[in-house]
Chain A
């Protein structure tokens, strides 16, 4: 088997395992990463939401916020895990497409 085939299989395994990155922190009741708190968490941490942060934090409306579907914030772990896997697949798809496009632009033919 070609090494690239093996590496793609490795990536597929990571995609399937990716919900662990959701389930394990949830199990230990871990919150957001340091410096990635939302407005509510900030309110709890320092007693107010910095004005600039409040204004800028809603600047961009990502189509799949936090690797989930919009409106799924209250769903259980099984659904969120499914959304996580779908996010991983879509993300990899876009990343690979982008790199191939960039590769086409940059790499000399026959090089």
Chain B
């Protein structure tokens, strides 16, 4: 889901930077108010976890690969605003150091993976886990479903961003200038592979770690989120 440079036109890139700016500002303001000093190591671990889990590429039959993001887990542990910051850090390092995701697309990639994914995941988790005790199986199930839905909604956004490009930018002869695939191809491709494979990876990773924390550190599941 890391959109590279050259797949989105300048307008789309600009719009998503413009959308992310106030989100990043709000995230900083909210995290400043709520995050405690002792939570910073967990935030660092969460960001590092998201970074490294994205290196686990999973192949699927049609010759392509994808991966989990781990962002819903960070949102469950620290709240969606702190998760937004953690995943943004991971995505920026990936783009700058490893060329994974474009520089011009940092706004769009952060919108999909550092905003849509943790927020959708967080509220799904809250809705399903509502009032369930911290050590209940319903929390584990909620975490899995939250991971699955979070990454899939993010994938649909990414597919839509890809798919709008041929409409927005093409030569007089009809050749695409950026991503050549329209909504009819990009959205089903992105949604399909995440519904079938990568969504399950995100679900299993999220549920397993929540299950582990229930045993090892239940207070992290009850902690007040940022």
Which A residues are within 8 Å of any B CB, using their own CB?
3-4, 6-8, 11, 14-15, 17-18, 20-22, 24-25, 27-36, 42, 45-46, 48, 50-57, 59-67, 84, 87-88, 90-92, 94-96, 98-100, 102-103, 106-111
Q: Which of B36, B48, B52, B190 contacts A35 (CB 8 A)?
A: B190
Complexed CA–CA distance, A111 and B175 (Å): 57
Which B residues are within 8 Å of any A CB, using their own CB?
1-7, 9, 28, 31-32, 35-37, 39-45, 47-49, 51-53, 55-60, 63-67, 85-86, 89-90, 92-100, 102-104, 158, 162, 169, 171, 175-181, 186, 189-190, 193, 213, 216-217, 220
Complexed CA–CA distance, A28 and B66 (Å): 13
In contact, B58 and A102 (Cβ under 8 angstroms): no
Q: Which of A6, A50, A102, A106 contacts B180 (CB 8 A)?
A: A50
Sorted nearest first, the 6 A-B pairs with minimum C-beta distance are: A62-B99, A30-B59, A56-B6, A53-B6, A52-B177, A103-B40
Asked if A64 meets B102 with Cβ closer than 8 Å, knowing A22-B57, A33-B2, A95-B44, the reply is no
Asked if A107 meets B98 with Cβ closer than 8 Å, knowing A21-B55, A33-B2, A95-B48, the reply is no
In contact, A52 and B169 (Cβ under 8 angstroms): yes
Complexed CA–CA distance, A45 and B186 (Å): 14
Measured CB to CB, the nearest residue on chain A to B8 is A56
Chain B residues near A18: list those with CB within 8 A: 52, 55-56
In contact, A110 and B37 (Cβ under 8 angstroms): yes
Asked if A60 meets B178 with Cβ closer than 8 Å, knowing A35-B186, A53-B6, the reply is no
Complexed CA–CA distance, A33 and B99 (Å): 14
In contact, A98 and B93 (Cβ under 8 angstroms): yes
Identify the interface centre among A11, A22, A27, A92: most chain B CB within 10 Å of its CB. Answer: A92
Distance in angstroms from B82 CB to nearest chain A CB is: 10
Query: Can you pick out 9 interface pairs between chain A and chain B where the beta carbons lie within 8 Å of each other?
Result: A15-B52, A21-B58, A25-B59, A30-B65, A56-B5, A87-B98, A95-B44, A99-B40, A107-B39
Asked if A54 meets B48 with Cβ closer than 8 Å, knowing A33-B66, A62-B97, the reply is no
Identify the interface centre among A29, A62, A102: most chain B CB within 10 Å of its CB. Answer: A102
In contact, B51 and A95 (Cβ under 8 angstroms): yes
Complexed CA–CA distance, A22 and B2 (Å): 16
Chain B residues near A22: list those with CB within 8 A: 57
Complexed CA–CA distance, A15 and B55 (Å): 9
In contact, B103 and A84 (Cβ under 8 angstroms): no
In contact, A46 and B104 (Cβ under 8 angstroms): no
Asked if A21 meets B3 with Cβ closer than 8 Å, knowing A14-B52, A95-B44, the reply is no
Complexed CA–CA distance, A42 and B3 (Å): 14
Chain B residues near A51: list those with CB within 8 A: 171, 175, 177
Chain A residues near B176: list those with CB within 8 A: 46, 50
Complexed CA–CA distance, A29 and B63 (Å): 7
Asked if A67 meets B37 with Cβ closer than 8 Å, knowing A11-B52, A36-B2, the reply is no
In contact, A88 and B5 (Cβ under 8 angstroms): no
Q: Which of B7, B39, B97 contacts A53 (CB 8 A)?
A: B7
